[in-house]
Each structure stands twice: as structure tokens, then as C-alpha cells.
Copies of this chain bind each other. A is one copy, B any other.
Amino acid sequence: MASDQNEVSKGLEWRIKVADGSSEILVAEAKPAATRVLLCLKAFIVGLASKVWKFLHKAWDVGVDDPRKVIHCLKVGMALTVVSLFYFMRPLYDGVGGTAMWAIMTVVVVFENTVGATICKSLNRMSGTFLAGFLAVGVQWVASQSGKRFEPIIVGASVFLLASAATFSRFIPSVKARFDYGAMIFILTFSLVSISGYRVVEVFDLAHRRISTIIIGTALCIIVSMLVCPIWAGQELYTLIFRNMDKLADSLEGCVGEYFKDGDDIDESDKECHKKLQGYKCVLSSKAAEDSMANFARWEPAHGRFNFKHPWKQYIKIGASMRSCAYCIEALNGCINSENQASEYIKKHISDNCLKVSSNSSGVIRELALTIKTMKKSSNIHFLVGDMNNAVQELQVNLKTLPMLFNPPSKPEAVENPENKTTEQQPASKTVDTIMPLMDIIPLVTLTSLLIEIVTRINGIVDAVEELAKLAEFKPASNDKCEKDDHPMNNNFLPDQQKDNDTMKVFQRV
């Protein structure tokens, strides 16, 4: 029995035995209660420790991934410590008459990650408080004129009506986008001031102190967020858009490249490649981020290369056109990964064209990304678009010659697809000749169709970026040699671009 108990105390084994049957349960019950409690406690602590460890690991990753988040946290801590000076310093404390609490609350609630969000919330809080404060004082005055009996009724009814109306306004999309927080603060302040007015006689004084502490809190938040390592929503949106564009280009080029790649070089750097291929998913999922950042960016003052009236809304349009392109890449990816595949022989015939279209169109997207990044009108976007459209036309012409490959009877080895076995039951031998290529080329035709559709949608992105260049008055890129060499397009993706001087005419878009 003693050795039994020794075994049992190994925790895991003990639990397995309990699950086995009734005879084992007797042994478990014979154990002293203290040991069982200790074991439970140990398991609990180990489990907790591993969870905490995992959580800390995740937190560390978040911090390493974007150190500015850590800086933001320190900024919040700093702002709160500064605000607490109101409590520690007697003259300041007496100045705001004990309502320094509101300043602390304002800092906690209003301080956001980006400058735009902080300003937006600050202005919302201030205007909501002002408006509600004035209204509440007015209602309070009317109520106090109507005698002790009606006072609570008037105040109660006005709270009910205004709170309902303000809550309803938060459902209206245009209000929700900009003044959601302001509407909430309006309800809060109105209720507080008008109801407490029934008790606290100095309504004016309460409203005044609340407003002044809120102004102190918001001013502190805005100053800290703008001066200490500022994170501008506009800058973030701008970075998000051109990075997503690069990802889109990588995905498109990668997808088509992967499809036409020889079987040999699949293993090397597979993970890296796979990550690049999935870049379009970032574009698909970044709508909410774009919308909120564009919404906050419009509250920001001029910063960096962006002036106050920078056309942030246009970035949303660019994002939407990128997304419409990403949908097609998603479908393309699905078709490429499907089981039905064209035979290697047919693929080779058209691979050069497809690769050219994909590399030209990724070139266009990268050039657009560079246009946005440098905020300078691209001097060769029209050539690149022309090249892309020409490549599409070449692809279409080549597609027309595809059936010729199959009509000469000298190429029977091209038939490898197991699906074609059914065609042997067909009556006429001539028909068999024509059927085989059709089934073989279906994946290829789909790929080219989708590529052509993608090119059409890329033209949409080009239009959206040109509209941005017009609205934000981008300057034309200077033509000096040095800058051209820095241009990633010219070095990596279109090496023939500068040599072919005969292509230097503006092509018509498809």
C-alpha cells in the first residue's frame, strides 16, 4: 500500500488510474487529503506558469515586431505621471478645486496610438462636454423655475429624450465615423451635470471645472502624442498602402512564376517564397485599418510631407482598387493549385508570355508604389503600362497559335493527362485531335483570362494613383541619372526598359 501511494504521487499516473475503474478509485481515496491538494496546486501552478510564459513570449514578439508600441506605452505612463502632479502639488490642486480626477480620466480615455486618433477623441470629448454642459445648465435653469414638484420630472424627461436621441445618432454612419465618442461624452456630461444639478447647487461651477480639467487633460495628451516620437495616422496609412502594393506585386509575380516553375527548384527557400505568395491576403484584410486611419488622418495637422488638406480619402480608393485586384489573384491562386493541370509541353509554349505579362504588371504596381512612396509623378509609368498592355496583346496572339501545336500528328507525347483517357471512346480520330488540346489547355486559358482581368484592374489602380498625384499635387520626378539608378524598377525588374529607345512613345491603354 505504501509503494502504491508512492506511485500514485506521480500526479499524471494517479489521474489515469482514477479514470480506469472503481478499484483504483479506492486507492485514490486512501491518499491523504493534503497530498492531493498539493498535487492539484502543483499542476495548477505549472499550468499557470506555462500560460504566463507563453503570454510573455507573445507580448515580447509584439514589442519586437513594432517597438513604437512600447514607446506609446511609455508615453501613456509619462502623461499620467505628469497629470498626477496636479494631486501632488498643492497650488495646482487647489486651482482646479479637487476635480483633477477628470484630467486623469481624460488622459486615460483620450490617449491613443496615433496623433490623429488622439486629436479626434480630444476634440470629440471637448465639443461633447461643451455642448452638453451648456444644454444641461439651460435645462437646469428651466427646471428650477418650474418649482420643486416639476423639477425632477423635467430633468428626468430631458435626460431620457436627449440620451435616446444621442444614442440613436451613433447609429447613423456619418456620425458614427467621426463623432461616436463625442455623442457618448455628450450623454455622459448631460446626465451628470443636469442630474447632479439637483443636488449640487453650483451647476455652473461643476460644468466650468469639468471643462477646464478636460482641456488640461486633452492638451497634455495632444502635446505628448505630437512631440514625443509621434505616430501619425496619415504616415501609417501611406506606408500601409505602398507596402501592400509591393506585396501585391510580389504575390502576382510569385503566383505565375510558381505555376511555370520547373519541378527541380521547388525545395529551396520554399517558406520564404510561400510567405511572399500570400502577400495579397494582407491587401484583402486591410480594409478596416485603411478606413480608420484615413478617418483619423484628416484630423492631423501638416506633418512631414503631408499638408493639412492631403487627400486621404483617395488612399481609400487606391486600397479598394488594390483589393479588387487581390480578389482576382485569390481566384488565380485557387486555379493554380487545383488538381487539373496543363501538361508541361503546353505550359512551356505560353510560359514566356505569361511570365512577361506578370512581370510587367508587377512592374507597374511597383512603380505605382514608388510613386506613392516618393510622392513624385513617375516619368515612365506610361511606358510601363504600355509594355504591360503590349504583353497582354502578345499573349492573346500567342494563345491563337496554340492549337497549331496539336494539329500536326508528330507530337503524341504531349498527351499525359489521365483525364484524356475518356476521349478514346470518341468516334472520329480528327475530333480526338482537337479535343485533347482543349482539355489540356483549360487551366492555361483560365490563367491567361484571369491575368488579363488582373491587368484591367491594375489599370484601375493606375487611374486611382494618378488621381492622387493630381489631388496631392505630386511633383514630376527629376530626370537625373543618379535617381534613375536608385529606381528599383530599372535595376531589377525591367532591365531592357532603358536600352529600348524605340519604345519611348506613349502607348495607348487597352
Contact = CB atoms under 8 A, between A and B. Distances in A.
A59 B108 CA distance: 32
Interface string A52-93: 000100110011000001101110111011001001100001
B449 A84 contact: no
A212 interface: no
A196 B449 contact: no
Nearest to A188: B108
Interface in A125-161: 152, 155-156, 159-161
A108 B191 contact: yes
A195 interface: yes
Contact of A167 (B76, B327, B441): B76
A501 B69 CA distance: 64
A174 interface: yes
Interface stretch (A116-124, A344-352, A427-435): A427-435
A229 B156 CA distance: 22
The A interface is mostly helix, strand or loop, or mixed, namely helix
Given A324-B330, A334-B457, A58 B172 contact: yes
A198 to B, nearest CB: 6
Given A80-B187, A84-B191, A400 B435 contact: yes
A81 B87 CA distance: 33
A442 B434 contact: no
**Count class of interface residues, chain A:** 35 or more
B159 A192 contact: no
Nearest to A174: B58
Interface string A174-211: 10000000001001100110011011000000000000
Contacts of A101: 192, 196
B108 A450 contact: no
B442 A163 contact: no
B338 A331 contact: no
Nearest to A419: B396
A379 interface: no
A104 B160 contact: no
Nearest to A87: B195
Contact of A104 (B168, B195, B439): B195
Contacts of A445: 442, 445-446, 449
A84 B338 contact: no
A85 to B, nearest CB: 9
A285 interface: yes
A108 B183 CA distance: 10
A431 B404 contact: yes
A399 interface: yes
A105 interface: yes
8 contacts: A81-B159, A81-B160, A87-B198, A104-B191, A109-B188, A330-B331, A334-B453, A442-B448
